[in-house]
């Protein structure tokens, strides 16, 4: 079969400040046949996105083609006119970027946006567009497509927006799809559904896909072949099974070991060190500095990509040794909390975004809209990590914002140490402010694009410690080292960093304050696994050495398991279950916890998720009964709609809120 | 501890400015636009010393002569050299708009940022007022003021600055709303930085980019407005040469002496096009232009 996407010997680079050309991609070949789905994996900065974008003849500003070609369906993409490229992109070759759901135009109805895509890229006569729009929306399994057409993007959930983005990409009947982290940032349940959808679409249409992701679980689910990239080159390539189960390259092994496992509470193993900066790989193997099997030969000679026994290719001198090493790496046990004084106490917290209507205000009534978050009482010990899980919109970030003093609670109190905290940040004293630091989910949003890394890190150092001049800069560099970035990053702007690098800067900024309580809002969801492992390791270290208390919000259950002492499961702003980590993951579970656990994707080509009903958007919490009533696969009946379920406790410290009796909970 | 050479902040700021300038210049629109604008500004400064004739010198023998070796662009109905008057005719316009534009951007920008920060009811009410005001035709508003107060520079500058500042309020407010909603502002607030620090460090640099582009656009519209006022007889008073005025004067003779109109029209439009092209390239260089971002 001839390749649809045929990238040959491509090298891409940029001219650094010193005038040297630095390569971001080094002599890469990639061929994708129709119907084939190839996964590109590697750490952030390895050039995955650059390679995928190069397949459509696009290079980010500042980058240039140094060598090679990218042919799509017989067309050399780097030799085309702008107009021709525009015709092909979005038509035969479509891109679904990360957060593409969020890049929908907020002011245009879904129907209009899809119509526009059809107008640009479809040969259909205009009078059939309306019907086609509905068909496309049905195709991506959006419930009630006729109604969705008239909606605005903000009226859809994140997963639904992503479906619209996929529908949009399908509008031009593409022969190939390029997907750059298409499910990163989505809920586990939503992600699982989207991946099934992509699998089916690819199978139905015989489409070729290039799937860029740092999530090996997702790759395992959709890809037939995997290409592992490191420092701009391919180090291992082969069938998904071989790469994920019997990796013969030390880097791929390290990558796999750095993935937290759902059924194991050990911390994943961070790959030490960091990849060489573009152009700094030297003469030998680019991975040499981090490789456990390194020999003198590796440092002097660059290994070539050679055929491996399993039918793929591998770039390593010691493949056999690597094969033997596989499976011998075992993760460290995380620092566990062993009881202590209460550090943070949430008492009956309720938070509402709804403003009372004028009439209600005049009559002295509150709103009748149920609060977004209600009845949250949790107390967290000094040095304890509380994992907070739940889908997007469940109020995890809202709770963190209230603790940080950015959002006033409608009821309840927050106590840190022995001090009751004023509701708003403006009323807190410097000590209280320094004590609690917040790390946000999306570094693109949490780092000011106009500040250099030095500016960013210096803010807390100046504010809380009054550092100035050379001390300030030296301390910033030191903090940067702790998150595995070198001092040479100090003068960069966020736009000059990769996604992972940005988040590390955001984390560094929070730790610069020397906080006692760190609120982590999906802090690793934008990171790749090896960095995630390193960040988890770092968070764990600080917990051990400084007794830092965390609230760790994540939709990745395996990550939560690796780091948390206790886990609270949140649905629609209400607690469903709370308990010691092992109790929640292994003991009796709330039906919602079960749904979450079932949707987790393991980096194993043989594992398939158990999916509950397709995702339903919840608009507001129900006024009475169980918050999970509309989606619960085990609904008992009327009682779930009318009566608030009782807390039941199967074991000391483990609480489940459901009408189903404890004996029946684990019986399916 | 790692040894790090301290880089003065000015250094990075200068680098950024130079980087943006380079980004503007590598685009064809930026290169052409900036060249046109620079050319006009330089001409406006040095023209009094390089013009071939006295702009007031009338000569009844040379009325409405076509282009010749002595008068490259011909002469007008009073026998004055058109080239001289075209070279000088942008000075007044550039001076007035060059002063009025920054004033407009500054006061409109400040007010817009203020509205954007205050938010809530007050913001909504004030924006309604701005909208109502914007819905009136500008020429009418301006004429009322000028007829009341006169047409000197001391009236024109504040008038133009006032009217052209109002739409800036809208832009600045929208940009402020965008930035305020982002997490880096929340992060700064959560750290406990004062309101002023948050505005100065986090908000302003981001809003200023938008305002810079907006300012350039305002400038070109203001030039057009100024020339229109002159054309209508409310701007520069004769015999001072001005493109708008020249077009008005030469209009009557256009059928048999088109050179009188052609010179000022080309001069004015090349300047306006130049400014627009520059603004366009600047927007792209600053990443404000949304279409530039995704390769889809
Ligand atoms: N415009 C640019 N100018 C200079 N260097 C760049 C530019 N864009 C990216 N880089 C560098 O190129 C390398 C590859 O970046 P790329 O975005 O392809 O990585 P990635 O594997 O997709 O990472 P992530 O998983 O974080 O998205 C990184 O070292 C990055 O810092
Ligand atoms: S070539 Fe050497 S350094 Fe490189 S991956 Fe193989 S063993 Fe490690
Ligand atoms: S109370 Fe009813 S709806 Fe809620 S989780 Fe239990 S069974 Fe399901
Ligand atoms: Mg990427």
Task: Give the tens place of pLDDT for each residue, A257-305.
Answer: 888 888 777 788 877 777 888 888 888 899 988 888 888 888 989 999 8
Task: Give buried/exposed letters for A466-477 (b at 16+ CB in 10 A, else e).
Answer: ebeeeebbbbbb
Q: A274 CB under 6 A from ligand 1? A: no
What is the structure's pLDDT at A363?
63
Q: Tens digits of per-residue pLDDT, B110-128?
A: 999 998 888 777 888 888 8
pLDDT over 90 at A372, yes or no: no
**Which atom of ligand 2 sits closest to the CA of residue A317?**
1
Can you tell me the mean pLDDT for A615-619? 60
B4 in contact with A, Cβ within 8 Å? yes
Q: Tens digits of per-residue pLDDT, A399-431?
A: 999 999 988 898 889 998 888 999 888 889 888
pLDDT over 70 at A357, yes or no: no
CA-nearest residue of chain A to B191?
Answer: A433
Can you tell me the mean pLDDT for B234-258? 79
pLDDT over 90 at A108, yes or no: no
pLDDT over 50 at B2, yes or no: no
Q: A645 CB under 6 A from ligand 3? A: yes
A97 in contact with B, Cβ within 8 Å? yes
B192 in contact with A, Cβ within 8 Å? yes
- Inter-chain CB proximity A447 and B184 less than 8 Å: yes
- Inter-chain CB proximity B186 and A509 less than 8 Å: no
Give contacts of A473 with chain B, Cβ < 8 Å.
Answer: 4, 6
CA-nearest residue, atom 7 of ligand 3: A635
Q: In a mutagenesis test of the B interface, which of A16, A165, A450 is the best target, namely the one with the most B β-carbons within 10 Å?
A: A450
What is the structure's pLDDT at A548?
87
DSSP-assigned letters across all residues of A623-643: SSS-TTTTT-TT--SHHHHHS
Give contacts of B209 with chain A, Cβ < 8 Å.
Answer: 450
Whether the bond between B239 and the residue before it is cis, its omega within 30 degrees of 0, is yes
Confidence of residue B11 (pLDDT cuts 50, 70, 90): very low
What 8-state DSSP symbol labels residue B81? B
**Which atom of ligand 2 sits closest to the CA of residue A322?**
7
**Integer Cα distance of A171 and A515 in angstroms:** 49
Note the ligand closest to the C-alpha atom of A43. 1
- Inter-chain CB proximity A477 and B202 less than 8 Å: no
| ipTM of the complex, rounded to two decimals | 0.72
Ramachandran sector of residue A19 (left: φ over 0; alpha: ψ -120 to 50; beta: rest): left
**From the DSSP assignment, how many helices (H) and strands (E) are in chain B?**
12, 0
**Integer Cα distance of B241 and A424 in angstroms:** 62
Can you tell me the mean pLDDT for B3-11? 38
Confidence of residue A117 (pLDDT cuts 50, 70, 90): confident
pLDDT over 70 at A362, yes or no: no
Question: Rg (Cα) of chain B, in Å, rounded?
Answer: 23
**Across all residues in chain A, what is the average pLDDT?**
85
A545 CB neighbour count, 10 Å cutoff: 9
Cα diameter, chain A: 82
pLDDT over 60 at A230, yes or no: yes
% of residues, chain A, pLDDT over 70: 93
Can you tell me the mean pLDDT for B216-234? 86
Q: A502 CB under 6 A from ligand 1? A: no
% of residues, chain A, pLDDT over 90: 25
- Three-class DSSP category at A537: helix
Residues in contact with A535: Cβ distance below 8 Å, sequence separation at least 6, in sequence order:
A483, A503, A504, A507, A523, A524, A527
Identify which of A103, A401, A448 has the shortest CB distance to residue B202: A448
CA-nearest residue, atom 23 of ligand 1: A44
pLDDT over 60 at B1, yes or no: no
Give contacts of B201 with chain A, Cβ < 8 Å.
Answer: 448, 451, 459
Can you tell me the mean pLDDT for B3-18? 55
Which contiguous run of DSSP H or E holds residue A26?
strand A21-32
Can you tell me the mean pLDDT for A169-175? 86
Can you tell me the mean pLDDT for A92-120? 82
Can you tell me the mean pLDDT for A532-549? 80
Confidence of residue B192 (pLDDT cuts 50, 70, 90): confident
> What are A390's two structure tokens?
């739940």
CA-nearest residue of chain A to B207?
Answer: A450
| Secondary structure, 3-state, B121-143 | HHHHHHHHHHHHHHCCCHHHHHH
Phi, psi of A580 (to 5 degrees): -60, 150
Q: Tens digits of per-residue pLDDT, A439-492?
A: 988 788 889 888 889 989 999 999 899 888 888 999 999 888 877 788 888 888
* Strand partners for A469: none
> Measuring CA to CA, which residue among A311, A380, A317, A373 is closest to residue A565?
A380
% of residues, chain B, pLDDT over 70: 93
- Three-class DSSP category at A415: strand
- Inter-chain CB proximity A463 and B192 less than 8 Å: yes
B190 in contact with A, Cβ within 8 Å? yes
What is the structure's pLDDT at A563?
87
**Integer Cα distance of B292 and B296 in angstroms:** 10
* Strand partners for B50: none
What 8-state DSSP symbol labels residue B241? -
Residues in contact with B137: Cβ distance below 8 Å, sequence separation at least 6, in sequence order:
none
Average the pLDDT over each of A320-329, A515-524, A547-556, B92-101 and give the range with the smallest value: A320-329
- Inter-chain CB proximity B186 and A478 less than 8 Å: no
| Residue A318 to chain B, least CA–CA distance (Å) | 35
Q: A316 CB under 6 A from ligand 2? A: yes
Can you tell me the mean pLDDT for B184-208? 87
DSSP-assigned letters across all residues of A542-602: HHHHH--EEEEE-S-HHHHHHH-SEEEEEETTEEEEEEEHHHHHHS---HHHHHHHHHPPP
pLDDT over 60 at A329, yes or no: no
What is the structure's pLDDT at A198?
85
Task: Give buried/exposed letters for A568-595 (b at 16+ CB in 10 A, else e).
Answer: bbbbbbbbbbbbbbebbbebbbbbbbbb
> What are B35's two structure tokens?
């060249």
What is the structure's pLDDT at B35?
92
- Give A 101-120 residues with CB within 8 A of chain B: 103
- Inter-chain CB proximity A430 and B192 less than 8 Å: yes
Residues in contact with A226: Cβ distance below 8 Å, sequence separation at least 6, in sequence order:
A38, A39, A41, A219, A236, A237, A238, A239, A240, A243, A244
Can you tell me the mean pLDDT for A539-566? 86
Q: A658 CB under 6 A from ligand 3? A: yes
Compute the Cα dihedral for A277, A278, A281, A286 and give only its sign.
positive
> Measuring CA to CA, which residue among B3, B191, B176, B182 is closest to residue A494?
B182
pLDDT over 90 at A38, yes or no: yes
- Inter-chain CB proximity A490 and B4 less than 8 Å: yes
B69 CB neighbour count, 10 Å cutoff: 5
Confidence of residue A618 (pLDDT cuts 50, 70, 90): low
Can you tell me the mean pLDDT for B87-101? 88
> Measuring CA to CA, which residue among A603, A438, A443 is closest to residue A517?
A438
CA-nearest residue of chain A to B12?
Answer: A491
What is the structure's pLDDT at B275?
92
**Integer Cα distance of A8 and A256 in angstroms:** 28
What is the structure's pLDDT at B291?
39
**Which atom of ligand 3 sits closest to the CA of residue A590?**
5
pLDDT over 70 at B7, yes or no: no
- Inter-chain CB proximity B205 and A450 less than 8 Å: yes
The rounded Å distance from CA A67 to ligand 4 centre is 21
Q: Which pairs from A285-294 meet CB under 8 Å and 24+ separation?
A: A285/A315, A285/A316, A285/A317, A286/A230, A286/A231, A286/A232, A286/A233, A286/A235, A287/A230, A287/A231, A287/A235, A287/A250, A287/A251, A290/A251, A290/A254, A291/A250, A291/A251, A292/A250, A292/A325, A293/A250, A293/A318, A293/A321, A293/A322, A293/A325
Give contacts of A515 with chain B, Cβ < 8 Å.
Answer: none
What is the structure's pLDDT at A46?
87
Confidence of residue B6 (pLDDT cuts 50, 70, 90): very low
A86 in contact with B, Cβ within 8 Å? no
Identify which of B4, B187, B295 has the shortest CB distance to residue A56: B295
The rounded Å distance from CA A232 to ligand 4 centre is 13
> What are A300's two structure tokens?
């002097």
A89-98, A300-309, A538-547 — most confident range: A300-309
- Give A 551-590 residues with CB within 8 A of chain B: none
Give contacts of A56 with chain B, Cβ < 8 Å.
Answer: 295
Q: Tens digits of per-residue pLDDT, B139-187?
A: 777 777 777 777 777 888 888 898 889 889 988 998 888 888 888 888 8
Average the pLDDT over each of A119-128, A538-547, B98-107 and give the range with the smallest value: A538-547
B205 in contact with A, Cβ within 8 Å? yes
Average the pLDDT over each of A429-443, B184-198, B251-265 and give the range with the smallest value: B251-265
pLDDT over 90 at A330, yes or no: no
Phi, psi of A556 (to 5 degrees): -90, 105
Note the ligand closest to the C-alpha atom of A305. 2
| Residue A102 to chain B, least CA–CA distance (Å) | 13
**Integer Cα distance of A518 and A511 in angstroms:** 8
| Residue B194 to chain A, least CA–CA distance (Å) | 8
Q: A626 CB under 6 A from ligand 3? A: yes
What is the structure's pLDDT at A616?
61
A484 in contact with B, Cβ within 8 Å? no
- Inter-chain CB proximity A103 and B183 less than 8 Å: no
Q: Tens digits of per-residue pLDDT, A464-479?
A: 998 888 889 999 998 8
pLDDT over 80 at B77, yes or no: no
What is the structure's pLDDT at B12?
64
């Amino acid at each position: 079969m001839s390749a649809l996407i045929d990238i040959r010997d491509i090298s891409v680079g940029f001219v650094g400040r010193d005038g040297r050309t630095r390569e971001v991609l080094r002599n890469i070949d990639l061929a994708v046949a129709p119907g084939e789905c190839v996964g590109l994996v590697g750490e952030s900065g390895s050039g995955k996105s650059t390679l995928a974008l190069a397949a459509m003849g696009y290079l980010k500003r500042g980058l240039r083609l140094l060598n090679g070609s990218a042919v799509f369906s017989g067309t050399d993409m780097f030799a085309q006119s702008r107009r021709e490229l525009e015709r092909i992109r979005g038509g035969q070759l479509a891109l679904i970027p990360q957060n593409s759901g969020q890049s929908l135009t907020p002011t245009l109805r879904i129907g209009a946006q899809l119509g526009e895509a059809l107008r640009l890229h479809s040969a259909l006569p205009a009078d059939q567009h309306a019907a086609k729009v509905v068909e496309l929306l049905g195709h991506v399994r959006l419930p009630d497509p006729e109604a969705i057409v008239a909606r605005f993007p903000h009226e859809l959930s994140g997963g639904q927006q992503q479906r619209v983005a996929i529908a949009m990409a399908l509008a031009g009947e593409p022969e190939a799809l390029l997907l750059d982290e298409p499910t990163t940032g989505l809920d586990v349940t939503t992600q699982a559904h989207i991946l099934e959808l992509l699998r089916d679409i690819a199978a139905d249409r015989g489409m070729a896909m290039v799937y860029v992701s740092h999530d090996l679980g997702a790759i395992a689910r959709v890809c037939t072949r995997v290409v592992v990239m490191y420092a701009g080159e391919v180090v291992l390539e082969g069938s998904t099974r071989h790469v994920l189960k019997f990796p013969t390259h030390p880097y791929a092994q390290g990558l796999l070991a750095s993935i937290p496992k759902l059924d194991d509470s050990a911390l994943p193993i961070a790959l030490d060190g960091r990849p060489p900066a573009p152009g700094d790989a030297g003469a030998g193997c680019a991975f040499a500095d981090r490789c456990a099997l390194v020999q003198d030969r590796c440092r002097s000679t660059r290994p070539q990509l050679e055929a491996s026994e399993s039918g793929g290719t591998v770039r390593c001198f010691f493949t056999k040794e690597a094969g033997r090493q596989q499976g011998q790496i075992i993760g460290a046990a995380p620092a566990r909390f062993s009881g202590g004084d209460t550090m943070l106490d949430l008492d009956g917290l309720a938070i509402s975004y709804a403003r009372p209507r004028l009439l209600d205000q005049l009559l002295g009534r509150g709103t009748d809209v149920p609060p977004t978050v209600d009845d949250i009482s949790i107390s967290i010990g000094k040095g304890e990590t509380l994992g907070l899980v739940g889908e997007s919109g469940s109020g995890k970030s809202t709770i963190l914002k209230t603790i940080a003093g950015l959002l006033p609670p409608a009821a309840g109190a927050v106590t840190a140490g022995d001090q009751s905290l004023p509701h708003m940040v403006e009323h807190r004293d410097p000590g209280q402010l320094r004590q609690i630091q917040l790390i946000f989910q999306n570094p693109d949003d949490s780092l000011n694009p106009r500040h250099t890394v030095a500016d960013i890190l210096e803010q807390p150092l100046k504010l809380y410690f009054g550092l100035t001049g050379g001390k300030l800069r030296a301390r910033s560099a030191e903090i940067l080292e702790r998150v595995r970035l070198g001092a040479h990053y100090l003068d960069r702007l966020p736009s000059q960093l990769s996604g992972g690098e940005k988040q590390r800067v955001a984390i560094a900024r929070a730790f610069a304050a020397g906080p006692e309580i760190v609120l982590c809002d999906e802090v690793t969801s934008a990171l790749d696994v090896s960095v995630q492992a390193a960040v988890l390791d770092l968070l764990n270290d600080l917990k051990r050495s400084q007794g830092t208390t965390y609230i760790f919000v994540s939709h990745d259950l395996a990550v939560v398991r690796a780091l948390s002492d206790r886990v609270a499961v949140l649905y629609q702003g209400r607690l469903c279950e709370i308990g010691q980590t092992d109790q929640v993951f292994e003991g009796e579970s709330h039906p919602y916890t079960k749904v979450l656990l079932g949707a987790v994707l393991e980096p194993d080509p043989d594992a398939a998720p158990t999916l509950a009903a397709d995702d339903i958007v919840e608009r507001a919490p129900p006024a009475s009964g169980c918050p999970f009533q509309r989606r619960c696969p085990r609904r008992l009946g009327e009682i779930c709609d009318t009566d608030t379920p009782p807390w039941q406790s199967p074991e000391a410290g483990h609480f489940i809120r459901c009408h189903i009796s404890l004996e029946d909970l684990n019986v399916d | 501890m790692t040894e790090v050479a301290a880089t003065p902040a000015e250094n990075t700021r200068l680098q950024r400015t130079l980087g943006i300038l380079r980004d503007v210049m590598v685009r064809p629109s930026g290169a052409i636009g900036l060249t046109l604008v620079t050319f006009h500004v330089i001409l406006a400064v040095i023209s009094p010393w390089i013009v071939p004739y006295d702009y007031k010198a009338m000569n009844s023998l040379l009325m409405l002569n076509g282009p010749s070796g002595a008068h490259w662009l011909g002469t007008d109905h009073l026998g004055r050299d058109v080239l001289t008057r075209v070279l000088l005719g942008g000075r007044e316009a550039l001076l007035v708009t060059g002063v009025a534009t920054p004033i407009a951007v500054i006061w409109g920008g400040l007010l817009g940022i203020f509205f954007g920060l205050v938010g809530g009811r007050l913001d909504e009410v004030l924006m309604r007022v701005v909208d109502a005001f914007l819905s009136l035709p500008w020429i009418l508003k301006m004429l009322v003021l000028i007829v009341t107060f006169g047409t000197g520079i001391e009236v024109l500058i504040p008038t133009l600055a006032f009217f052209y500042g109002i739409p800036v309020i809208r832009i600045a407010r929208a940009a402020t709303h965008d930035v305020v909603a982002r997490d880096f502002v929340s992060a700064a607030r959560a750290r406990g930085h004062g309101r002023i620090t948050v505005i100065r460090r986090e908000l302003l640099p981001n809003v200023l980019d938008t305002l810079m582009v907006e300012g350039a656009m305002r400038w070109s519209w203001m030039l057009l407005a100024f020339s229109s006022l002159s054309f209508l007889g409310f701007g520069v008073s004769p015999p001072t040469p001005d493109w708008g005025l020249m077009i008005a004067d030469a209009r009557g003779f256009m059928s048999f002496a088109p050179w009188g109109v052609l010179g000022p029209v080309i001069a004015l439009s090349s300047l306006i096009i130049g400014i627009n092209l520059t603004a366009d390239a600047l927007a792209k260089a600053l990443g404000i232009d949304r279409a530039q971002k995704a390769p889809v």
